[in-house]
């Protein structure tokens, strides 16, 4: 049985990626992302800055780090640390995962607003960086529809939400710095659960849409796919997070 957001991980690989965040073809931010997957441990770090619009890996200005164990062919998060400056203020937090249960500790930051829906469901979740690394180890190949068909259960220490993924198509992508080839395009629906202000009109609008897309490409040397492009419709237009660099390398087989 798959853990939320877990990925089947064989061999070893590394990903170095950079993303541009744009709205209506106007650049509003950037994200850099590094992933190292070893035989027993993995680490994923990201940092970035956006113009205050909903982002995918980093919302606002800050950095995040996730690490965990590689066991039984899957990634199991153990720790997640973030330092984010966004519309909620300056927040530092840590999540520890123990036997499938996530426990957060707010190191710095103001308490949630009174109209914030409290988070009560913390079991079977993954942090955002671990959740978006998905498995491609299927009998019919990683481009098969079954690779998309899953629910990513995510907890970032403040917000609890699901991304319901379903198969949409495969497509070709050419990135000048590091990647050319087939990608897997998954339709995604955001399902907010808790940690959000109940009156957020932008959130309600995005959650009502069925045309979000996550495009995945393989990380060399592993059975893991990572996002190479994200399309999110908003009231102001389509938010695009697209890789300008996507370089992955795999360790030689022993």
C-alpha separations of 147 from 82, 108, 131, 159, 163 in Å: 29, 38, 14, 26, 14
How many other CB atoms sit within 10 Å of the CB of residue 172? Answer: 8
| CA–centroid distance for 209 within its chain | 19
Alpha-carbon span 152 to 135, nearest angstrom: 12
Q: Please check whether residue 1 lies inside any domain of the structure.
A: no
Strands 61-71 and 74-86: antiparallel
Q: Please check whether residue 223 lies inside any domain of the structure.
A: yes
Q: What's the pLDDT at 139?
A: 61
All residue ranges of the chain with pLDDT < 50 are 1-6, 52-58, 254
Q: What values do phi and psi take at 204, rounded to 5?
A: -60, -35
Q: Please check whether residue 252 lies inside any domain of the structure.
A: no
Q: What's the pLDDT at 57?
A: 38
Q: What's the pLDDT at 225?
A: 92
What is the number of domains present in the chain?
Answer: 1
Question: Which residues make Cβ contacts (< 8 Å) with residue 245, sequence separation at least 6?
Answer: 16, 17, 18, 175, 177, 178
Q: What's the pLDDT at 138?
A: 62
How many other CB atoms sit within 10 Å of the CB of residue 140? Answer: 9
Range 107-132 burial, b when 16+ CB lie within 10 A, else e: eebeebeeebeebeebeebbbbbbbb
- Average pLDDT of the residues of the chain: 85
Q: What's the pLDDT at 24?
A: 80
pLDDT tens-digit readout, 181-232: 999 999 999 888 998 887 777 677 777 777 899 999 999 988 889 999 999 8
SS3 180: strand
Q: What's the pLDDT at 59?
A: 53
Q: Please check whether residue 79 lies inside any domain of the structure.
A: yes
End-to-end C-alpha distance for the chain, whole angstroms: 28
Q: Please check whether residue 26 lies inside any domain of the structure.
A: yes
C-alpha separations of 80 from 83, 105, 196 in Å: 11, 10, 20
Q: Identify the domain containing residue 133 by its residue range.
A: 13-247
Question: Which residues make Cβ contacts (< 8 Å) with residue 129, sequence separation at least 6?
Answer: 33, 44, 45, 46, 57, 64, 65, 66, 80
Q: What's the pLDDT at 49?
A: 85
Do residues 227 and 215 lie in contact, with contact meaning Cβ atoms separated by under 8 Å? yes
* Domain CATH for 162: 2.40.360
SS3 21: strand
Q: Please check whether residue 92 lies inside any domain of the structure.
A: yes
Written as six digits, the tokens of 152 are 């990513």
Q: What's the pLDDT at 249?
A: 92
User: What residues are paired with 109 via a beta bridge?
Assistant: none
Query: CA nearest 129: which of 86, 75, 91?
Result: 75
Do residues 214 and 232 lie in contact, with contact meaning Cβ atoms separated by under 8 Å? no
């Amino acid at each position: 049985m798959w853990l939320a957001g877990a990925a089947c991980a064989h061999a070893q690989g590394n990903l170095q990626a950079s993303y541009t965040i744009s709205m209506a073809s106007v650049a509003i931010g950037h994200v850099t992302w590094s992933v190292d997957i070893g035989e027993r441990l993995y680490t994923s770090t990201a940092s970035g800055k956006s113009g205050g619009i909903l982002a995918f890996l980093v919302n606002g200005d800050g950095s995040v780090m996730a690490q965990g164990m590689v066991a039984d062919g899957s990634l199991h998060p153990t720790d997640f640390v973030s330092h984010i400056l966004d519309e909620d203020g300056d927040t530092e937090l840590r999540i520890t995962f123990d036997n499938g249960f996530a426990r957060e500790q707010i190191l710095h930051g103001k308490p949630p607003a009174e109209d914030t829906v409290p988070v009560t469901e913390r079991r079977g979740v993954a942090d955002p960086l671990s959740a978006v690394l998905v498995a491609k180890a299927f009998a019919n190949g990683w481009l098969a529809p079954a690779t998309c068909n899953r629910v990513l259960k995510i907890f970032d220490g403040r917000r609890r939400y699901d991304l319901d993924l379903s198969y949409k198509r495969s497509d070709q992508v050419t990135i000048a710095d590091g990647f050319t080839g087939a990608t897997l395009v998954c339709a995604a629906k955001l399902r907010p659960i808790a940690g959000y202000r109940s009156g957020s009109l932008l959130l309600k609008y995005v959650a009502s849409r069925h045309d979000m897309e996550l495009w995945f490409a393989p990380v060399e040397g592993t059975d893991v796919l990572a996002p190479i492009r994200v399309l999110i419709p908003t009231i102001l237009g389509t938010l695009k997070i697209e890789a300008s660099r996507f370089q992955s390398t795999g360790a030689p087989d022993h």
